[in-house]
Chain A
Amino acid sequence: GESVGLHLPTLSVQEGDNSIINCAYSNSASDYFIWYKQESGKGPQFIIDIRSNMDKRQGQRVTVLLNKTVKHLSLQIAATQPGDSAVYFCAENTGGFKTIFGAGTRLFVKA
């Protein structure tokens, strides 16, 4: 499959453990944030989003935390499974059509 992000930051976790992936965003005017998951050879898929008027949002097994003071975003994955292995991107948007993507973090899940 396609090899993307050969030199990305990498997080390795044991199956069943919780994962925390961090992201520092660049623009204090950004008001919408998204996490995407990209499996090898595929396009990114939406996981969860959060607006700047919130500091936490929960989905199924995933939670996004937003700290606007330090421009930091995190994605928490509960009970990590082998199928969670992928590259995870945070993205920020200031309300227009352009979205800025981070470099990504590769998550390895050890069985």
Chain B
Amino acid sequence: DGGITQSPKYLFRKEGQNVTLSCEQNLNHDAMYWYRQDPGQGLRLIYYSQIVNDFQKGDIAEGYSVSREKKESFPLTVTSAQKNPTAFYLCASGRGQDSYEQYFGPGTRLTVT
């Protein structure tokens, strides 16, 4: 069963703690993306990776970090420096150049109190 998975579905953390969100894909896609979604807004790009061991900042990268050590995995760490971390986080993958369709995971709802 091919697809993209995110875990967990819901995550709760105390303020000041770092937290890592998981994203795995078995679609053999080169590109992977992390988006943040807030009520009343579209998806905002946090980080993206075109290829293993390479990643680029998106529009709202401050307070976040990523790694891309394997093609299948693109974990996102929400650090304590992120001022408003409570949000719905979506991971996506895509074939890359010349194919811009993105395949999304089910999302992780992070609540920080």
| Residues of chain A at the chain B interface (Cβ within 8 Å) | 2-8, 32, 34, 36, 41-46, 49, 89, 93, 97-99, 101-104
Judging by beta carbons under 8 Å apart, are B31 and A43 in contact?
A: no
Name the one of A32, A41, A43, A89 contacting B92, with C-beta atoms under 8 angstroms: A43
Judging by beta carbons under 8 Å apart, are A2 and B88 in contact?
A: yes
Judging by beta carbons under 8 Å apart, are A34 and B104 in contact?
A: no
Chain A residues whose CB sits within 8 angstroms of the CB of B103 once the complex forms? 46
Q: Is B71 among interface residues, defined by CB-CB distance under 8 A?
A: no
Question: In chain B, residues 32-66, which have Cβ atoms closer than 8 Å to a Cβ of chain A?
Answer: 35, 37, 39-45, 48, 50, 56, 58
- Minimal beta-carbon separation of B55 from chain A (angstroms): 11
**Contacts A4-B39, A103-B40 given; 10 further ones with Cβ under 8 A?**
A3-B39, A6-B39, A34-B100, A43-B92, A44-B43, A46-B101, A46-B103, A49-B101, A97-B94, A103-B42
Chain B residues whose CB sits within 8 angstroms of the CB of A102 once the complex forms? 42
For B101, the closest partner residue in chain A by CB is A46
DSSP class of B's interface residues: helix, strand, loop or mixed?
strand
Contact status of A7 and B106, CB under 8 A, knowing A34-B101, A97-B48? no
| For the complex of A and B, 5 pairs with smallest distance between CB atoms | A43-B104, A7-B40, A101-B42, A6-B39, A101-B43
Judging by beta carbons under 8 Å apart, are B92 and A97 in contact?
A: no
Question: In chain B, residues 58-113, which have Cβ atoms closer than 8 Å to a Cβ of chain A?
Answer: 58, 88, 90, 92, 94, 96-97, 100-107, 109
- Minimal beta-carbon separation of A78 from chain B (angstroms): 22
Chain B residues whose CB sits within 8 angstroms of the CB of A101 once the complex forms? 35, 42-44
- Minimal beta-carbon separation of A25 from chain B (angstroms): 12
- Minimal beta-carbon separation of B74 from chain A (angstroms): 13
